A and B are shown apart, each in its own frame.
Chain A
Amino acid sequence: MFISSSRGGHLKLKRIGHVWQRNFMVYTKLYKSSIALNFVEPVLYLTALGLGLGAFVKDINGVPYINYIAPGIVASSSMFAAVYECTYGTFVRMTFQKTFEAILATPVGVDELIAAELLWGATKSMFYGSIIMVVIAAFGLVDSEFVILVIPVLLLSGLVFAEISMIFTAIVPGIESFNYVFTLVMTPMFLFSGIFFPIDGLPSLVAKIAYFTPLYHLVNICRSFAAGKIGVVAGDVIWIVIVAAILAPYPFRLMRKRIIK
Chain B
Amino acid sequence: MKQRAGLSSRPFLMLQKGCWQTAKNMAIVIARNLVKDYGTLRAVDSIDFQIVQGECFGFLGPNGAGKTTVMRMIHCFVPPTAGELRVFDMDVVKRPDEIKARIGVMPQDDSLDPDLSVVENLLTYARYFDMPRKESLRIAAELLDFFELRGKEKVNIKSLSGGMKRRLLLARALVNQPELLILDEPTTGLDPYSRHTVWDKLNQLKSGNTTLILTTHYMEEAEKLCDRVAIMDSGRIVTSDSPMNLMKLHNGNLEDVYLKLTGRPLEA
Contacts and interface: CB of A to CB of B under 8 A. Distances in A.
Interface string A62-104: 0000000000000000000000000000000000011101111
Interface residues on A, range: 20 to 34
A32 interface: no
A261 B78 contact: yes
A29 B124 CA distance: 14
Nearest to B43: A261
A183 interface: no
A98 B109 contact: yes
Given A26-B115, A29-B115, A260-B78, A102 B107 contact: yes
Nearest to B93: A8
Contacts of A21: 124, 127
A25 interface: yes
A203 interface: no
Given A8-B94, A25-B120, A101 B125 contact: no
A22 interface: yes
A253 interface: no
A18 interface: yes
The residue in A19, A102, A103, A104 that gathers the most chain B C-beta atoms within 10 A of its C-beta is A102
A102 B111 CA distance: 6
Contacts of B189: none
A107 B110 CA distance: 20
B77 A109 contact: no
B265 interface: no
Interface stretch (B27-35, B97-105, B226-234): B97-105
Interface residues of B, number: 31
A6 to B, nearest CB: 12
A135 interface: no
Interface in B85-143: 94, 96-98, 100-101, 103, 105, 107, 109-116, 120, 124-125, 127-130
A103 B101 CA distance: 12
Contact of A98 (B111, B120, B129): B111
Given A106-B176, A260-B78, A97 B129 contact: no
Interface in B174-189: 176
Contact of A107 (B78, B111, B114, B129): B129
Contacts of A102: 107, 111-113, 125, 172
B128 A107 contact: yes
Nearest to A12: B97
Given A8-B94, A26-B115, A105 B100 contact: yes
B128 A106 contact: yes
A247 B23 CA distance: 49
Given A14-B130, A25-B124, A261-B38, A104 B77 contact: yes
A241 B172 CA distance: 40
Nearest to A21: B127
A105 B105 contact: yes
Contacts of A98: 107, 109-111
10 shortest interchain CB distances as A-B pairs: A98-B111, A106-B128, A105-B105, A102-B111, A107-B97, A26-B115, A18-B127, A107-B101, A107-B100, A108-B128
Given A101-B109, A106-B128, A261-B38, 17 more contacts: A14-B130, A15-B128, A19-B128, A21-B127, A25-B124, A30-B115, A97-B113, A97-B114, A98-B110, A101-B107, A102-B107, A102-B111, A103-B128, A105-B100, A107-B100, A109-B97, A260-B79
20 contacts: A8-B94, A18-B130, A22-B124, A25-B120, A26-B113, A98-B110, A99-B111, A99-B113, A101-B111, A102-B113, A105-B75, A105-B103, A106-B100, A106-B128, A106-B176, A107-B129, A108-B97, A108-B128, A260-B78, A260-B79
Interface of B: 38, 75, 77-79, 94, 96-98, 100-101, 103, 105, 107, 109-116, 120, 124-125, 127-130, 172, 176
